[in-house]
Structures are given as structure tokens and as C-alpha cells.
Amino acid sequence: MLTVRRYTHARAFLDRAEPWLLDAEIERAGPLSSARQASADDSRYERPMYWATIEDGDNIVGCAYRTPPFRVGVSALPKDALAPLSLDLEKVYRHVSGFSGIDPAASALADIWIARHGGSSAIVSRSFLFSLGEPAHGVAAAGTLRGANQRDTALAKDWGDAAAKESGIAALDGNLCVRLIGAGQLWLYEVGGAPRCLLGLLHNTPRAASLAVVYTPAAERRRGHAREGVARLSTLLAERGVAKRYFHFDPSNRAAQGLAQKIGGELVQAGVDIDFR
């Protein structure tokens, strides 16, 4: 019998759920980062907020959260958790702006909410999380990978803006890439001393890393630079002891999906953002 356990504050939620969230810190990055931000300062959110774990006996099997006015966020959930979670949300909210998180749970909850409350929904975005697996080097093995530095700021800005424009993901722009330089999370794959591909990690801890920026200028494409750059970065992370390495991308980006398949990645989970109208 699954139960929904609700918490008044983000700190109480973290006290209970943080070890479980950290056990899969990239797959559960949404609730983990939201709870940490709200625990540090929740002044920019409306009330009431929502923090809940779904539990099977003493074991956490999923979670849900909301920091209004934003959507209800959910982790992966057992099918049996959907009905009790929806009923518990109704005790707190008459209206929500939508659902976000891991499919099929997020889509199923959106369908349940509309069936009970009316209205319609629209999918705003989707995302795939692939594992990088074991590094596999391609044909462009003559190149080298190096960490970007402040001398690369202009290039990072230009290539990041171009990547954001092509992908349609505004957040992954040149300004982000410049910030990643300072965080030590941006790399350049070079051949003959010239940059050919830009790679950026959005998440990087001793245990897990998530690659989200991969950009090769049009003139340098179809030469294996992205594949080799990802392989080199995966090798570097593995040598540092980072056991879990992922590639995060929009499934409508055919180039990114093709790259994920070429490097032997496997789908870990699919995410979705759904707005209500």
C-alpha cells in the first residue's frame, strides 16, 4: 500500500528524502535542486508550496513538489502512486499551472487532473537523458580535449549562442557557456590546435555528470569531432571516478539523438513539461 507523506517545508522534505535523491542525483535533479533552493530562500515563491514523498512501507519510491507559480514536478513514479498523489494535490490546490518531470508519470497525472477539473493541456518541451556508457573513440582520434579558459570567452559566447539558436533551447546559450568556463565545466575538442567542438556539463559532481552542450560549427561537421570529443570527455570523467555519465538533450534535435546512438548511449528516462490552458 503506497502512501503520500507531505511536508510543510523544503527542509523537512530534504531531511527525509535527500539521501534517496542523491542516490540518483541527475535523474532526480529537479526535486533535489528545487528543494535546496527553497530551503535556502523561499521568499520568491507563492504559498502554499508542496513537498511530498511517495512511500512503500519505509521505502521512498517517488516524490512530488511545487514552488508556485511553477508547475507540479514529479520524479518517476509507480503507476499505483498516481491516484493517491492526485487526490493529495487536490487537498492543497484548486488549480495548478501544469505538470513537469519524468514520463509517463507527468503525462498521466496531467490527464487525471484534466479529467477531474476540466481544461486542456499543451506539451511545452520534452527531454531525453541518455547514459554515455563506456567511452568509444571514433575516426577523429588525432585531436585533443582541453578545458576552456578565459581566453576562450569570445568563442564560447559565439558558439554557445549559435548552439542555442539551432537547438531552440534558449537557456543553453553563450552566457551559460561563459559561466561554465568559470565552473570548470566547459571543454574544447581541438584538431591541429584549432577548436572543432564545444562541450559543456550542466551537472558535475564527484559521482555524476550530465553533458548538455555539444556544438560543432557547420563547416566542421560530419568529421567525427563531436563523437570523439564526447568520448574523450567521458574517458576523462571516468578516470576521475565519475561513475554515472549522461547526455541530456531535446529529442527533436536529430543531430543530438544521432550522436547519442553513435556513442552507444541508452535511454535512461524521458522528461516532459506540460502547461494547462
Q: Summarize pLDDT for 73-123 with one digit per residue, the tens.
A: 999 999 999 999 999 999 999 999 999 999 999 999 999 999 999 999 999
List of residues 6+ apart from 196 with CB closer than 8 A: 143, 189, 190, 216, 217, 220, 223, 225, 229
Count the neighbouring beta carbons within 10 Å of the beta carbon of residue 147: 12
User: What type of residue sits at position 271?
Assistant: G
Give residue 260's pLDDT: 85
Whether 225 and 140 have beta carbons less than 8 Å apart is answered as yes
Q: For residue range 110-153, what is the model confidence (pLDDT) as tens digits?
A: 999 999 999 999 999 999 999 986 655 554 457 999 999 999 99
More confident call, 106 vs 170: 106
Which pTM was predicted? 0.88
Peptide bond into 217 cis (omega under 30): no
Give residue 257's pLDDT: 85
Q: Where are the domains of the chain?
A: 2-119, 131-272
Note whether 2-119 and 131-272 share their fold. Answer: yes
- What is the CATH code for 2-119? 3.40.630
Give residue 86's pLDDT: 97
Sign of CA dihedral 91, 93, 96, 100: negative
Residue owning grid cell 547519442? 260
Whether 113 and 86 have beta carbons less than 8 Å apart is answered as yes
The crossing angle, in degrees rounded to 10, of helices 174-183 and 153-167 is 130
The answer to whether residue 215 scores a pLDDT higher than 70 is yes
List of residues 6+ apart from 249 with CB closer than 8 A: 127, 128, 130, 212, 214, 256, 257, 260
In angstroms, rounded to a whole number, what is the distance separating the alpha carbons of residues 35 and 228? 36
Q: For residue range 36-51, what is the model confidence (pLDDT) as tens digits?
A: 999 999 999 999 999 9
What is the CATH T-level fold of the domain 131-272, as seen in this structure? Answer: Aminopeptidase (3.40.630)
Give residue 137's pLDDT: 55
